Amino acid sequence: MPAANAPRKFRIRAPCSSANIGPGFDVLGMSLSLYLTLDVSVYQEDATQAFEMTYSGEGATEVPLLPEQNLITKIALYVLSANGISQLPQPLKIHVHNPIPLGRGLGSSGAAVVAGVLLGDALGNLKNSYDRLLDYCLMIERHPDNVAATLLGGFVASYLRELDPEATKGVPESETFLDDVVSKTYPQPPVGIGHYLRLNWSKEIKAVAIVPNFEVATAKARAVLPTTYSRQDVIYNFQRLAVLTTALGKSPPDADLIYNAVQDRIHQPYRKTLIPGLPEILSSITPAKFDGLLGIFLSGAGPTILALATGNFDAIAGAAQKVFKEHGIESWYKVLEVTDGGSTVEEL
Ligand SMILES: Nc1ncnc2c1ncn2[C@@H]1O[C@H](COP(=O)(O)OP(=O)(O)OP(=O)(O)O)[C@@H](O)[C@H]1O
Ligand SMILES: N[C@@H](CCO)C(=O)O
């Protein structure tokens, strides 16, 4: 039995994610085995400081640690405010450990959003369902692919419900949503914004993430995309997307089917201007040259490259790293698993 004055301690874990998976722009996402972790202690009485946040890992030198500035605590404040609670409980200590590189296409912001929503829910003892938590996430990151995969886990297809203009009256755009969070009162998000389906994933398929050492902000990578597309290009992506959703759950995986199904004409061709070496990497690393390779594409908004493969991971990653190097870019890689589960809150 914990002592009467013992702090309440809990741990939040949120996996990183890769979105799009080739043709599924803003539709497909998968959670990967690299976890943002929050260790939270809520004290009953006296502590030296009312609020203390410490941080280790990726972003340690740049992420602000004040509650009204840090993305995770701002989101927790939003969730609490929407439920009639105006501040974080105090004294409160949070240690963040983040192995997810920022701005690289591995859903660092999606993991921070989900962790923040779970933090607000846990601190307010709100006990929202995961479906309802997704509504909160989608008020902040308004494309569902990363947050749905991170929250729910696995290989996930999702779409957003068209929002009733009445229900969103006075709700700011996502960029300004969290501005001045401490002094605002937020409405509850509309119910059932996000719809999703967890798709089968064949366990023998691993994800090799090749991460170059420069950032591409998602907002910038979205700004280079056209506002309209030709019928030909839309059909090209629809055809591949429909096949891909099932092909990645089949065992043994069919390399020829998957490699062709991850081709895309909606986002990658436009993002090559932001990612030196992208066209060479995508065209030169093929199943014909690398046994075990199933498909290769930009992870989320980039610049990380994701290769799906059943083996030969070092050779595949090495080939992509070589192209980056020819463009003067250093990189690292990691072989990741698609996780079964999503984000969790564990009372300690
Ligand atoms: N752990 C974190 N704590 C606080 N802020 C974070 C954290 N992780 C990400 N962020 C914020 O999110 C920004 C990165 O988000 P962005 O959407 O540009 O890239 P990404 O999520 O890593 O990539 P993608 O959306 O393509 O998968 C960071 O610059 C930072 O402002
Ligand atoms: N679908 C999003 C994922 C990145 O957050 C994009 O490609 O812009």
Q: For the segment 116-175, what is each residue's pLDDT rounded down to a tens digit?
A: 999 999 999 999 999 999 999 999 998 999 999 999 999 999 999 887 777 777 677 777
pLDDT at 165: 76
The pLDDT assigned to 48 comes to 59
**Cα–Cα distance list, 69 to 6, 33, 62, 63, 66 (Å):** 29, 28, 12, 9, 5
Assess: ipTM above 0.95. Answer: yes
- Indicate if the pLDDT at residue 80 is higher than 90: yes
Whose CA is closest to atom 15 on ligand 1? Answer: 109
Q: In what order do the strands lie in the sheet with 206-212?
A: 293-298, 305-309, 206-212, 331-336
List all residues whose CB is within 6 A of at least one atom of ligand 2.
19-20, 25-26, 143, 145-146, 218, 221-222, 267, 300-301
**DSSP-assigned states of every residue in 267-308:** SHHHHTTTSTTHHHHHHH--TTTSTTEEEEEE-TTSS-EEEE
Report, as an integer, the average pLDDT of 286-303.
Answer: 97
Model pLDDT, residue 163: 77
- Among protein residues, the one with the nearest Cα to ligand 2's atom 8 is 301
Average pLDDT over residues 167-192: 84
Ligand 2 mean position to 304 CA, how many Å? 12
Please give the pLDDT value at position 313: 98
Nearest ligand 2 atom to alpha carbon 225: 8
Which residues contact ligand 1 via a Cβ below 6 A? Answer: 19, 36, 59, 63, 70-72, 98, 102-110, 112, 146, 217-218, 300-301
Query: What is the reported pLDDT for 312?
Result: 97
Which of the ligands is closest to the CA of residue 215?
1
Q: Which atom of ligand 1 is nearest to the CA of 17?
A: 27
Whether the pLDDT of residue 176 is over 70: the answer is yes
What pLDDT does 172 receive?
Answer: 73
In this model, does residue 42 exceed pLDDT 60?
A: yes
Q: Quick one: which of 331, 310, 226 has its CA closest to 268?
A: 226
Phi, psi of 144 (to 5 degrees): -85, -15
Q: Minimum-distance ligand to the CA of 102?
A: 1
**Considering only CA atoms, which residue is closest to atom 7 of ligand 2?**
301
| pLDDT per residue as tens digits for the range 198-246 | 999 999 999 999 999 999 999 999 999 999 999 999 999 999 999 999 9
Where residue 44 falls among pLDDT bands split at 50, 70, 90?
Answer: confident
What Å distances lie between residue 110 and 36, 68, 113, 273, 306, CA to CA? 10, 19, 5, 24, 17
Nearest residue (CA) to ligand 2, atom 1: 26
Mean of the pLDDT values across residues 43-64? 87
